[in-house]
A = this chain, B = another copy of it.
Amino acid sequence: MSSTPAPSQDTLDKLRAVGTATVSMQLLKRGLRHVSVNGVKPLRPDQGCVVGPAYTLRFLPLREDLSDPAVLGAPGYGPRVAIETCPEGAILVVEARGIATTGTIGDILTARLAKRGVAGMVVDGAVRDGAGVSATGFDVWCLGAAPPASITQLSGGDVEIPVACGDVTVFPGDVIVCDGDGAVVIPAKLAAEVAEDSVEQDRFERWVQARVEEGRATIGLYPPNAETKAEYEAWKTSGGQ
């Protein structure tokens, strides 16, 4: 678990305003290439941008002695514990081994997560009963939907340990940013500065987009050469937003 304090509301708001593409570039500038969760997409097209600290859950490879249906009711079974302990506002990040052919969670459990105020879920696996899950209004980033229950191909593991989700390492408390393109992980200690710089990058790119719409060529404009930089700074000085 990270010892970094939870991200401020201001940081979360800034990240929600910019989205994954901008955040991803800020992380690349800091040398981080492995922060985008491979393969996950919004289950519903209208999920928008969701941001929050990670609460983690691990699944293990199927071992039949650990995946009898009776296990679902066993005290302390991780995947069921997580449903009741994931905090309000957090994003449940689930390691499901990239298996798109088994559901990890269905409409009853997502209804409960929504009820409890959990912000969303990112899983490198599938959901069950995709239509039912969508109907709960809970926001899920996943590999799609598949009929079988989790224990058909997976065995339950622990909560709040580091997980590998979509080939990316996520620690409890890291900040997750999700939108139409997928989900990106910001190491907890970098969240505030990445949010700050992302807002500025986003402002610059909106200015560039307006220039392109005016017919400007992109060479020298994006990325900007010295002249373009000066022009942009002048625009900012003159109050451009």
Task: Using CB atoms and an 8 Å cutoff, list the residues of chain A in contact with chain B.
Answer: 19-21, 23-25, 28-29, 31-36, 38-39, 41, 60-66, 69, 72-73, 80-81, 83-84, 97, 100-103, 106-109, 111-112, 115, 128-132, 144-149, 151-153, 155, 157-158, 161-162, 164, 167-169, 180-182, 184, 187, 205, 208-209, 212-213, 215, 217-219, 222-225
Are B108 and A205 touching (Cβ within 8 A)?
yes
CB atoms of A148 and B33 under 8 A apart: yes
- Are the CB atoms of A112 and B212 closer together than 8 Å? yes
B108 touches A212 (CB 8 A): yes
Query: Which residue of chain B has the shortest Cβ distance to A135 in the bound complex?
Result: B209
- Whether the pair B109, A21 counts as a contact (CB closer than 8 A) is no
Q: Which residues of B contact A205 (CB under 8 A)?
A: 108
CA distance A155 to B24 in the complex (A): 17
Give the complex CA separation of A129 and B184 in angstroms: 13
Q: Smallest distance from the beta carbon of A165 to chain B beta carbons, Å?
A: 9
State the copy count for this chain: 6
Contact, CB under 8 Å: A63 / B151: no
Which of B66, B112, B145, B155 sits near A181, CB closer than 8 Å? B145
A225 to B73, CA, bound (A): 8
Tell me the nearest residue of chain B to A153, going by C-beta. Answer: B33
CA–CA, A161 and B60, complex, Å: 11
Query: How near does chain B come to A77, taking the closest CB pair, in angstroms?
Result: 9
Q: Give the residue of B64, B158, B215, B219 whose beta carbon is less than 8 angstroms from that of A115.
A: B215
Give 17 A-B contacts (CB < 8 Å), ordered by A residue: A21-B103, A23-B147, A24-B149, A24-B152, A28-B151, A33-B64, A33-B148, A34-B61, A36-B102, A36-B147, A39-B101, A60-B169, A63-B168, A84-B217, A115-B212, A145-B181, A147-B181
Give the CA-CA distance A109 to B130 in the complex, in Å.
30
A84 near B218 with CB under 8 A, answer: yes
Contact B129–A212 (Cβ < 8 Å): no
Q: What residues of chain B lie closer than 8 Å to A103, measured between beta carbons?
A: 21, 181
Establish whether residues A167 and B61, one from each chain, have CB atoms under 8 Å apart when the complex forms.
yes
Contact present for A83 and B218 (CB under 8 Å): yes
